[in-house]
């Protein structure tokens, strides 16, 4: 029996699943570091599911990075993909490549009750755009624009690479430390997994503490346990995420709402809710009132990127 496959591929993980027109089946998470190229990961997945490559008909892969042309280079891992070679090797009837946060945005159209937490309640203007933003291996940003017929246009972008906004003297001092080490400081420099560790190290340097944490997970765990420097880093992370999300909402006119997506934030949801995120989001000077009414939701759905890839496959769209 013929079947389709969807994938959500980031810098660290490749999430793969079957799609038969009814919903996701047999979701499996593979490590990108374990395979030289995407086609080997797909073959390993099919072998694990006892499925034949010959029965694979269509594939939609949501890929981290700008999608254009035949050759695709993943932004935060070593994989490369040629559309033509990939489709030929697997003898596919149809191959769709879409930006990973375009897929994440499409996944927001399939959210079910209980798959989000209200960070800021507000009245969504249904005819206005919606912003989707989330830190993970990188910082993803995309938007949904409503169509007159009730559907959606998804607009992928590279908003994670905008310059990091400075809103206080403390942030300016941290920016100077970061700039001394890495040069240009973009939002993704701190608003991702590795960025959280970098931010922790910058705070330790600025405040003259000796850093003792080695991974982003260490920083999160220590912050939740009350470690001063780690909590300072995670708190500043939330403030800066609020600033970037608020700036993006202003640029887009996202009065339809903001979705905080990705797998990183749910790990410290309670911390986020009591952090300075909303202060950073709302601190927009004369435009503060504009953003204060925008609802913000933390997405807790398990596989929204895969769901979005299913939507793209249904619509037969390349983005």
Query: What gap in Å lies between CA 223 and CA 9, rounded to an integer?
Result: 29
DSSP 8-state symbol, 11: S
Query: Was 256 annotated as part of a binding site?
Result: no
Confidence of residue 318 (pLDDT cuts 50, 70, 90): low
Q: Is 151 annotated for ligand binding? A: no
For residue range 246-304, what is the model confidence (pLDDT) as tens digits?
999 999 999 999 999 988 999 999 999 999 999 999 999 999 999 999 999 999 999 99
8 annotated as a binding-site residue: yes
Q: How far apart are CA 277 and CA 166, in angstroms?
A: 14
Spell out where 113-236 has E strands. 116-120, 130-135, 139-146, 152-156
pLDDT tens sequence across 45-100: 999 999 989 889 899 999 877 777 777 777 667 888 888 898 888 889 899 988 88
Helices and strands, counts by H and E, the chain: 11, 13
Full-model pTM = 0.89
* 7 labeled part of a ligand binding site: yes
Q: Which residue, among 99, 103, 109, 111, has the nearest Cα to 130 in the 3D structure?
A: 109
Q: How far apart are CA 172 and CA 290, in angstroms?
A: 26
Beta strands (DSSP E) in the chain are 3-9, 13-19, 24-31, 56-63, 71-73, 80-82, 94-99, 116-120, 130-135, 139-146, 152-156, 258-260, 296-299
12 labeled binding residue: yes
* pLDDT of 192 higher than 90: yes
- pLDDT at 313 > cutoff 80: yes
Segments making up each domain of the chain, as ranges: 3-105+304-315, 116-300
11 marked as binding residue? yes
Please give the Cα distance from 118 to 109 (Å, whole number).
Answer: 17
- At the top level of CATH, the class of 116-300 is alpha beta
d(CA 95, CA 74): 17
Instruction: Give per-residue burial for 45-84: e unless 16+ CB within 10 Å, then b.
Output: bbeebebeeeebebbbbbbbbebeeeebebbbbebebebe
CATH number assigned to the domain covering 3-105+304-315: 3.30.420.40
Measured between its terminal Cα atoms, the distance across the chain in Å is 28
> What number of residues does the chain have?
319
């Amino acid at each position: 029996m013929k079947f389709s496959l969807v994938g959500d591929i980031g810098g660290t993980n490749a999430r793969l699943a079957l799609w038969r027109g009814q919903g996701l089946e047999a979701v499996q998470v593979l490590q990108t570091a374990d395979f030289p190229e995407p086609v080997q990961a797909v073959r390993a997945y099919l072998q694990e599911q006892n499925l034949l490559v010959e029965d694979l008909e269509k594939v939609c892969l949501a890929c981290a990075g700008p999608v254009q042309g035949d050759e695709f280079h993943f932004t935060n891992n070593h994989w490369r993909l040629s559309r033509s070679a990939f489709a030929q090797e697997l003898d596919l009837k149809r191959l769709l490549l879409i930006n990973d946060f375009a897929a994440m945005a499409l996944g927001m159209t399939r959210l079910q009750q209980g798959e989000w937490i209200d960070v800021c309640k507000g009245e969504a203007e249904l005819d206005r755009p919606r912003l989707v933003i989330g830190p993970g291996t990188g910082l993803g940003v995309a938007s949904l624009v409503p169509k007159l017929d009730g559907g959606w246009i998804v607009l992928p972008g590279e908003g994670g690479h905008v310059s990091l906004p400075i809103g206080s003297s403390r942030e300016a001092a941290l920016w100077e430390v970061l700039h001394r080490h890495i040069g240009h400081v973009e939002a993704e420099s701190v608003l991702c997994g590795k960025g959280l560790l970098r931010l922790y190290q910058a705070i330790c340097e600025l405040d003259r503490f000796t850093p003792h944490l080695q991974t982003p997970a260490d920083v999160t765990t220590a912050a939740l346990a009350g470690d001063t420097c780690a909590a300072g880093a995670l708190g500043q992370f939330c403030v800066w995420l609020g600033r970037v999300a608020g700036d993006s909402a202003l640029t887009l006119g996202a009065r339809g709402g903001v979705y905080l997506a990705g797998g990183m934030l749910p790990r410290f949801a309670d911390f986020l809710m009591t952090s300075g995120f909303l202060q950073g989001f709302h601190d927009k000077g004369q435009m503060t009132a504009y953003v204060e009414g925008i609802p913000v939701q933390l997405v807790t759905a398990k596989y929204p990127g895969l769901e979005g890839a299913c939507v793209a496959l249904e619509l037969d769209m390349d983005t």
